Amino acid sequence: MINKNIMEIVQMVSGDYSGVSEAFNITGVTINSKAVVKGNLFIPIIGEKFNGHEFVKDAINNGAKASLWQRSQPSPPVNIPLIYVDDTLLALQDLAKNYLDQLSVKVIGITGSNGKTTTKDIVASVVGTTYKVQKTEGNLNNHYGLPLTILQLEEDTDIAVLEMGMSSKGEIELLSKLARPEAAIITNIGEAHLLDLGSREGIAEAKLEIVEGLKDDGILIYNGDEPLLNERLAGKKIHKVSFGSRGENDYIPTAIKQENDGTYFTINKTQNNEFFIPILGRHNVFNTLAAVAVARYFNVTWENIDIGLKKLKVTTMRLEVTEGKNGLKIINDAYNASPTSMIAAIDLIRDVKGYSKKLVVFGDMLELGPNEVKFHEQIGKSLNPEIVDYVYTFGELATHIAEAARGSFDEGRVKAFTDKSLLIEAVLMVAASNDIILIKGSRGMKLEEVVTALKK
C-alpha cells in the first residue's frame, strides 16, 4: 500500500499542509474513521447524507496520522496535521492516479452489466499463477472505491485487476482514465441501470467508456455475441479480441458440460484441453473465456490457466453452493439480479442433476426503469414446471413473476410473498433432503437472510 512522507502526499494531492512536523510517513488511506489502521491518512468524503469532516477527530484518535480537509468546510480542528484541498474526493482520485503512475504495475479493467465480480475473480486466479496480482476487494469499484483499491497496491505488484462499476454515464470513463488499463474486458450488456441510462444502447455506450483510458498499445476483450458492442466497435482502431458462442468470435466454447460440482468445457484455441471451473452456470464459461483471453495476452501458459481455473474461489453470494437443513442444497446467488442473470440462473437449475425437487426463490429486480413489470413477467413466463418444482417470490415487483408463472404450474406450486418470515416458513414446509433451492434477487432485497434461515 502507499507509504509516503507527508510532504510527498501534500504534493500528490496539490494541497497545503498545516501540521508542525514533516518527519513522518503515511501508510495507507481510509475514508472510514472506524476502520482506521495506525499510520493511515484519513480522507473525509462528503456524501448526500453524510460529511466525513465530522469524523476527522475520531479518525485521528483511532490512529490516523493526518487528514485531508476540504477548504470550503468550516471550523477545521486545531493541533491535527491537516492537508487542505479544494475537493477531498478529487484529491483521493489524484492521489491514486499519481501513486499508480509511480508503480510498474499493469492494470486489467473489467466492466459489464453482469459478471464483473466473477470475471475479476477468474482473471485474478488465472493470471495469479504467473504474476503477483492484486484485485478489487468487495464492491470497491466506483469513483472512490477504485482509488482506494489502487492505494492498497503493493509496490512489487505486477498486475492489478480492477472492477469498474457505474450508475450513470461518464463514470466508467473517469475510472478508466484514472487507472489507464493495459487490458479492458466488457463482460456483456444487460438491463442493469436501465433506470439511469434509459436503454440498452445507452448502457453499451456507457460500458464502452472503458476504452477512453485504454493505453495506446492495450487490448479490449469483449462479448462478441452482443450486436450493440460490435456496431460501436466497428472501425475503432484498437486491438480487439472477442469471446462468445458464435463462430466468428476469437474465443468460443466447443463443448460445455454442467456437473453438480462445477462446469467442464473445451475451447477452440486448444481442443485437446478440457478445463474445469468449480462454479456453476454455463454463463460462467463465457466469463472464463474473457479471463483466458486476457491471460493469453499476458503470456500465461495453458498449463497455468488450467491450474488457475481449478483453484478458483469466487466472491460470496455469486452462485455460492452451501448446505442447508436436513441435507438441503442451497445455491446462494443473492448479491444481484437482472433479467439476463435471472435467465442464466434458470438455465443453471435446469442443468443440475440428481435432486428430488428443484425450488427457486426470486426477489425483485431493481433499477429496470419503466418496463420493470414487463421484465418480471418475462421471467415468470420462462419458468417451466418440467424444470422447477416450486416457485417462491419476494417483493412487490417479483409478484409479477409469480402471476406470470401460475398459468404453467399446478395450484400451490407458485407463491408470492412480501413478508420474508412467511416466505421462509413456506419454503421449510416443502424443502427436504436431496432437494436443491436457488435464491436470487437484487441487492436491496437482502435474500441472503433467507439463505441464513435455511442453514440454521
Question: pLDDT tens across 103-133, in order?
Answer: 999 999 999 988 999 999 999 999 999 999 9
| 123 vs 244: CA distance, rounded Å | 17
Q: Supply the pLDDT for residue 283.
A: 92
pLDDT tier, 319 (very low <50, low <70, confident <90, very high otherwise):
confident
131-179 residue pLDDT tens = 999 999 878 889 989 999 999 999 999 999 999 998 788 999 999 999 9
Q: Supply the pLDDT for residue 193.
A: 67
**Verdict on whether the full-model pTM lies above 0.75:** yes
At residue 447, does pLDDT exceed 80?
yes
Q: By the 8 A CB rule, do 14 and 85 touch?
A: yes
Contacts with 240 (C-beta within 8 Å, 6 or more apart), sequence order: 219, 220, 221, 222, 233
Torsion over CA: 242, 244, 249, 255 (sign) = positive
Which is nearest to 31 in space by CA: 100, 96, 120?
A: 96
Averaged pLDDT score across all residues of the chain: 94
**Mean pLDDT confidence for 214-227:** 96
Q: Supply the pLDDT for residue 82.
A: 97
Q: Supply the pLDDT for residue 237.
A: 87
66-79 residue pLDDT tens = 999 999 999 999 88
Phi-psi region of 129 (alpha: psi -120 to 50; beta: other; left: phi over 0): alpha
For 123, other C-beta atoms within 10 Å of its C-beta total 30
Query: Is 340 in a helix, a strand, or coil?
Result: helix
| 7 vs 334: CA distance, rounded Å | 45
| 140 vs 143: CA distance, rounded Å | 9
| 9 vs 82: CA distance, rounded Å | 11
Report all structural domains of the chain as residue ranges with CATH numbers, in order of start.
Answer: 3-88 (3.40.1390.10), 103-310 (3.40.1190.10), 320-455 (3.90.190.20)
| 202 vs 228: CA distance, rounded Å | 10
| 436 vs 438: CA distance, rounded Å | 7
| Side chain identity, residue 289 | L
The Cβ-side half-sphere exposure at 433, using a 13 Å CA radius, reads 2
Q: Supply the pLDDT for residue 317.
A: 78
The Cβ-side half-sphere exposure at 295, using a 13 Å CA radius, reads 32
Query: Is 23 in a helix, a strand, or coil?
Result: coil
| 399 vs 339: CA distance, rounded Å | 15
337-396 residue pLDDT tens = 999 999 999 999 999 999 999 999 999 999 898 999 999 999 999 999 999 999 999 999
**Mean pLDDT confidence for 428-432:** 93
Contacts with 197 (C-beta within 8 Å, 6 or more apart), sequence order: 168, 169, 203, 206
182-204 residue pLDDT tens = 999 999 998 776 777 778 899 99
| 128 vs 69: CA distance, rounded Å | 38
Residue 26, beta-bridge partner list: 4
| 257 vs 264: CA distance, rounded Å | 5
Contacts with 317 (C-beta within 8 Å, 6 or more apart), sequence order: 332, 333, 334, 335, 448
Residue 185, beta-bridge partner list: 110, 221
Query: Is 211 in a helix, a strand, or coil?
Result: helix
